[in-house]
């Protein structure tokens, strides 16, 4: 079994020092966790980053608030100042994350092939299967019910949560997180028409995932028909995303939930793709592109910038009028 260390408690002055923040208030105040303004207790730290939460700020019971100096007139308690509240929130959440310690190499109910190379400072949970020739590097945490196919490599300090399937020859980079129920390396939709039937195209490729990638729950990432489906360093995928065969997702791109990306799509670096988007096959999207939710991408995006095409909620009669106008154009 694995063990989670007890949660840490910080003095407010320690948080200010660790995150390089300006403190106004009681530096000896002890903070045990973070919470939203509405539900925070006196032992918790909260954040204010939007005027729509102004009422919650005025009524909060939080022990301290992280906010910008221009907003501090609405709160009289202890404050930590920053101009990047959302970023500091992310960093602060990491301070309070409970760490996983790994006291055992493997659970007695897991099955590890004799040819697999599993670092002694890694953890294999119950009912997980590690096939022939797999390499598990130092600090890797594999939860229960994970299946790792032959020849797969899982690099240092990556975490794979319950019921994930990694098909043979997949490569998982360092410091990755793969959430429950995700399937990596399954066959893509590759069939050739043969009269009224379909002839299967055998997929002989694999999936390569870079370092510091996080993949949400229930995602499906198909291996390449030949070559590799590639997810580059720093990519973040929300839940229930589908990436078809031979896709390439550039560095530090983030994709929202329920987006479906067809085969051989190439997305550049530092892009933001909203939820519920659809991207047809063989599309190329350049670097630094934002695509808003529910947009259907049918053409290459050659210039950086923001693009949208999703429907906006309105009365049906108004939608019909606007649809006619767009059709005429």
* Predicted confidence (pLDDT) per residue in 127-161, tens digit: 999 999 999 999 999 999 999 999 999 999 999 99
Backbone phi, psi, residue 307, to 5°:
-135, 145
- Look over the chain and give the mean of its residue pLDDT values, rounded to a whole number: 91
In CATH, the architecture of 104-307 is 3 Solenoid (2.160)
In the chain, which residues fall in CATH 3.40.1390.10?
3-95
pLDDT-derived band at 325 (thresholds 50, 70, 90) equals low
What's the pTM value of the predicted model, to 2 decimals? 0.88
The answer on pLDDT for 1 being more than 50 is no
* CATH number given to 3-95: 3.40.1390.10
The answer on pLDDT for 228 being more than 60 is yes
pLDDT-derived band at 54 (thresholds 50, 70, 90) equals confident
CA distance 255 to 94: 21
**Lowest-confidence pick of 9-13, 16-20, 50-54, 264-268:** 50-54
Q: Average pLDDT in the 46-50 region? A: 91
The answer on pLDDT for 101 being more than 60 is no
pLDDT at 320: 77
The larger pLDDT score, comparing residue 313 to residue 217, is at 217
Q: Name the catalytic one among 86, 245, 248, 316.
A: 245
CA distance 12 to 23: 8
pLDDT tens for 33-47 read 999 999 999 999 999
pLDDT-derived band at 3 (thresholds 50, 70, 90) equals very low
SS3 73: helix
pLDDT-derived band at 316 (thresholds 50, 70, 90) equals confident
Backbone phi, psi, residue 105, to 5°:
-70, -45
pLDDT at 158: 97
In the chain, which residues fall in CATH 2.160.10.10?
104-307
Helix, strand, coil percentages in the chain from 3-state DSSP, rounded to 5: 15, 30, 55
Strand stretches in 232-313, DSSP E: 236-237, 242-243, 248-249, 254-255, 260-261, 266-267, 272-273, 278-279, 284-285, 289-291, 296-297, 305-307
Q: Which two tokens stand for residue 171?
A: 């490569």
Q: Which of 309, 275, 269 is nearest to 289 (CA)?
A: 269
203 is catalytic: no
């Amino acid at each position: 079994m694995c063990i989670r260390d007890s949660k840490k408690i910080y003095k407010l002055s320690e948080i200010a020092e660790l995150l390089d923040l300006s403190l106004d208030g009681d530096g000896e105040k002890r903070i045990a966790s973070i919470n939203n303004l509405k539900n925070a207790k006196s032992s918790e730290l909260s954040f204010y980053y939007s005027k729509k939460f102004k009422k919650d700020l005025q009524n909060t019971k939080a022990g301290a608030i992280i906010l910008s100096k221009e907003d501090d007139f609405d709160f009289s308690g202890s404050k930590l100042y920053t101009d990047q509240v959302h970023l500091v929130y992310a960093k602060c959440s990491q301070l309070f994350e409970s760490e996983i310690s790994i006291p055992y190499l493997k659970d007695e109910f897991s099955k590890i092939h004799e040819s697999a190379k599993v670092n002694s400072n890694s953890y294999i949970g119950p009912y997980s299967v590690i096939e022939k020739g797999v390499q598990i590097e130092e600090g890797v945490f594999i939860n229960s019910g994970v299946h790792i196919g032959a020849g797969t490599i899982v690099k240092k300090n990556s975490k794979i949560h319950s019921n994930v399937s990694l098909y043979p020859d997949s490569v998982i980079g360092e410091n990755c997180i793969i959430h429950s129920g995700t399937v990596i390396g399954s066959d893509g939709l590759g069939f050739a028409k043969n009269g009224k039937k379909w002839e299967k195209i055998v997929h002989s490729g694999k999936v390569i995932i870079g370092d510091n990638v996080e993949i949400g729950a229930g995602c499906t990432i198909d291996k390449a028909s030949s070559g590799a489906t590639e997810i580059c360093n720093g990519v973040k995928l929300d839940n229930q995303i589908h990436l078809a065969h031979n896709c390439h997702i550039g560095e530090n791109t983030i994709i929202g939930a329920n987006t479906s990306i067809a085969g051989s799509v190439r997305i550049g670096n530092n892009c933001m793709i909203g939820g519920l988007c659809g991207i047809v096959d063989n599309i190329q999207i350049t670097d630094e592109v934002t695509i808003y939710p529910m947009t259907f991408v049918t053409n290459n995006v050659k210039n950086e910038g923001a693009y949208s095409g999703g429907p906006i909620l309105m009365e049906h009669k108004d939608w019909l009028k606007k649809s006619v106008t767009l059709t005429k154009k």
